[in-house]
């Protein structure tokens, strides 16, 4: 290699490194990624304290990663190269059979937060066991696709941490309060019960689990014939696909619309009531899963005319959004609480609303990773 060629390579390298960094700093900050459906890091504040304790350097690295010039394109290119190299995973996501993209959740179920949240849930159950009684208090932590769809995983995948973690949760709760959603889902593992591109379970999975839970609780057990099952989109690209930035097989979203429909109202975070649990406008956005309730809210109240005398508090993450509509015939009021966004004392909410029943419904990874869960014991 000649001296001139060496200089050219060095110049090109400097252009790539410093040019992209300059372009990143020059472009307007992107506050939210529609592709990944999350807020992106913004420029951290620089002062003597953050510089000396290393906080600025760490935050600045995150900022550059989130705001990097042409970021989505580079993510997609990296994934495409890994697929060409026949890798079985990328960014902690398995390339599974039948075009499924399945999150591994490496380290999720053995983290300090995961261990702490088991203790928090046990304390919460002990606090409210006398008030609700075991027959009216249910804890349901739903397994993720990596646990249920094992037959679709690449060879040598080892998705065992999650099952062990769920067993730890069940053993720490009062007898009779745990509902094993995984046992129901394993019976239907050959059906399309999880999205291929997203981390949520599908409405079909929620329906199967609701049937068994309703049977245990002594409620009317619905059949599919009780619903008009409407496919509202076949162009859903979920959050797992967004992490990889590649084009893949799209998902469909189904709604179970009761044939014997009854009137109810939904009040979300104190806003004006609406008359449906579904927000069809979300289907025109990237976040199509928000067709269920329009997304996350601190507190959503469903008031019905069921006349059962029952009022239920559902402490939940977004896995509950396609499950809760099945509750409407059985309760006069359904309050959905997302503790991540709720800034008041849960104990006050329970004391003021005369709930007869409690349902705790999370997905396993969401439960293990929720740093706000400690608020449920205050």
Of 200, 329, 341, nearest to 268 (Cα)? 341
CA 204/CA 208 separation, integer angstroms:
6
CA 189/CA 182 separation, integer angstroms:
10
Query: Which distant-in-sequence residues (6+ apart) come within 8 Å of 276 by Cβ?
Result: 266
Strands (E), 36-180: 38-39, 89-90, 93-95, 101-103, 137-142
What is the pLDDT, as a whole number, of residue 134? 94
Residue 324 burial (CB count, 10 A): 23
Handedness of CA 228, 234, 235, 236 (dihedral sign): positive
What is the pLDDT, as a whole number, of residue 294? 96
CA 169/CA 167 separation, integer angstroms:
5
| HSE toward the beta carbon, residue 232, CA cutoff 13 A | 22
55: exposed, middle or buried (C-beta count within 10 Å: 0-12, 13-18, 19+)?
middle
The three-class DSSP label of residue 129 is: helix
325: exposed, middle or buried (C-beta count within 10 Å: 0-12, 13-18, 19+)?
buried
233: exposed, middle or buried (C-beta count within 10 Å: 0-12, 13-18, 19+)?
middle
The three-class DSSP label of residue 194 is: strand
CA 309/CA 158 separation, integer angstroms:
46
Q: What is the largest CA-CA distance in the chain?
A: 87
CA 106/CA 238 separation, integer angstroms:
20
- For the chain, helix, strand, coil in percent to 5 are 45, 20, 35
Q: How is the chain split into domains, by residue range?
A: 3-69, 106-377
**pTM of the full structure:** 0.81
Residue 199 burial (CB count, 10 A): 23
What is the pLDDT, as a whole number, of residue 261? 79
Digit-by-digit pLDDT tens for the chain (378 residues) are: 566 655 655 654 555 455 555 555 555 766 555 555 556 677 777 777 776 777 776 776 676 666 655 555 544 445 555 555 456 688 899 999 999 999 999 999 999 999 999 999 999 999 999 999 999 999 999 999 999 999 999 988 877 799 999 999 999 999 999 999 999 999 999 999 999 999 999 999 999 999 999 999 999 999 999 999 999 999 999 999 988 888 889 999 999 999 987 899 999 999 999 999 999 999 999 999 999 999 999 999 999 999 999 999 999 999 999 999 999 999 999 999 999 999 999 999 999 999 999 999 999 999 999 999 999 999
Length of the chain, in residues? 378
What is the pLDDT, as a whole number, of residue 64? 61
Of 293, 373, 294, 368, nearest to 338 (Cα)? 373
């Amino acid at each position: 290699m000649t001296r001139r060629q060496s200089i050219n390579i060095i110049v090109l390298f400097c252009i790539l490194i410093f040019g992209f960094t300059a372009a990143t700093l020059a472009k307007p900050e992107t506050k939210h990624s529609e592709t990944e459906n999350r807020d992106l890091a913004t420029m951290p504040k620089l002062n003597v304290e953050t510089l000396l304790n290393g906080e600025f350097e760490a935050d600045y690295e995150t900022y550059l990663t989130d705001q990097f010039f042409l970021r989505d394109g580079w993510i997609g290119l990296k994934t495409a190269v890994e697929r060409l190299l026949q890798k079985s995973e990328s960014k902690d996501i398995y390339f599974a059979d039948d075009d499924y993209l399945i999150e591994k959740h490496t380290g999720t179920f053995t983290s300090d937060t995961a261990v702490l949240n088991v203790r928090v849930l046990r304390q919460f159950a002990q606090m409210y066991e006398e008030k609700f009684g075991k027959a009216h208090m249910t804890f349901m932590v739903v397994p993720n696709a990596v646990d249920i769809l094992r037959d679709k995983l690449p060879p040598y995948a080892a998705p065992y941490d999650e099952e062990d973690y769920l067993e730890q949760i069940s053993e720490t709760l009062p007898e009779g309060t745990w509902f094993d959603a995984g046992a129901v889902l394993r019976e239907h593992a050959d059906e399309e019960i999880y999205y291929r591109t997203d981390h949520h379970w599908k409405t079909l999975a929620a329906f199967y689990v609701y049937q068994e839970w309703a049977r245990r609780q002594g409620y009317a057990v619905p059949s599919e014939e009780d619903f008009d099952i409407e496919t509202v989109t076949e162009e859903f690209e979920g959050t797992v696909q967004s992490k990889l930035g590649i084009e893949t097989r799209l998902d469909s979203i189904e709604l179970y619309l009761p044939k014997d429909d009854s009137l109810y109202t939904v009040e979300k975070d104190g806003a004006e009531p609406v008359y449906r649990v579904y927000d069809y406008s979300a289907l025109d956005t990237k976040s199509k899963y928000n067709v269920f309730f329009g997304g996350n809210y601190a507190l959503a109240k469903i008031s019905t005319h069921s006349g059962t005398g029952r009022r239920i508090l559902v402490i939940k993450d977004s896995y509950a959004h396609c499950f809760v509509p099945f509750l409407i015939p059985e309760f006069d009021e359904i309050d959905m609480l997302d503790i991540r966004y709720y800034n008041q004392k849960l104990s006050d909410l329970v004391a003021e609303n005369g709930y007869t029943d409690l349902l705790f419904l999370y997905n396993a990874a969401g439960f293990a990773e929720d740093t706000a869960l400690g608020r449920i014991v205050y």
